[in-house]
């Protein structure tokens, strides 16, 4: 019974390590995509058509990230402005008392 358990553990350990390393290479802590460290070597293995496609996808991803950051910055500025307006209204309201 103990030997069967050790065989199973020995068989699953490499899979667990592999899954952990794949996750660590592709996804960052915040959940965003990060480029693997061997990106250049991976690109060398692709055909020119696949390389062009990979670069196009990467450019789209960067554009989406920039659009997202821009939208978030605009929303934060709008929120801050509206909050200041409401605080000023409250201050005006309390000045009369």
pLDDT tens for each residue of 34-80: 666 677 778 888 899 999 999 999 999 999 999 999 999 999 999 99
- List the structure tokens of 23: 């996750």
| Residues of the domain holding 87 | 39-96
| 64 in any annotated domain | yes
Number of domains into which the chain is organized: 1
In whole angstroms, how far apart are CA 44 and each of 26, 36, 50, 70, 75?
18, 14, 10, 33, 41
Per-residue pLDDT at 23? 47
| 54 in any annotated domain | yes
Mean pLDDT for all residues in the chain: 79
Per-residue pLDDT at 34? 66
| 17 in any annotated domain | no
Kindly tell me the burial class for residue 54, based on how many C-beta atoms sit within 10 Å of its own C-beta (0-12, 13-18, 19 or more). middle
Kindly tell me the burial class for residue 3, based on how many C-beta atoms sit within 10 Å of its own C-beta (0-12, 13-18, 19 or more). exposed
| 2 in any annotated domain | no
Tens of pLDDT, residue by residue over 76-92, are 999 999 999 999 999 99
| 23 in any annotated domain | no
| 15 in any annotated domain | no
Interatomic CA distance for residues 84 and 73, integer angstroms: 17
| 47 in any annotated domain | yes
């Amino acid at each position: 019974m103990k030997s069967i358990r050790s065989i199973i553990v020995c068989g699953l350990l490499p899979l667990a390590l592999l899954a952990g390393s794949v996750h660590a290479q592709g996804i960052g802590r915040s959940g965003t995509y990060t480029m693997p460290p061997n990106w250049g070597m991976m690109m060398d293995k692709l055909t020119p058509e696949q390389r062009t496609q990979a670069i196009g996808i990467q450019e789209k991803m960067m554009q989406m990230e920039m659009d997202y950051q821009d939208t978030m910055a605009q929303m934060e500025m709008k929120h801050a402005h509206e909050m200041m307006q409401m605080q000023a209204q409250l201050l005006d309201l309390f000045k009369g008392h």
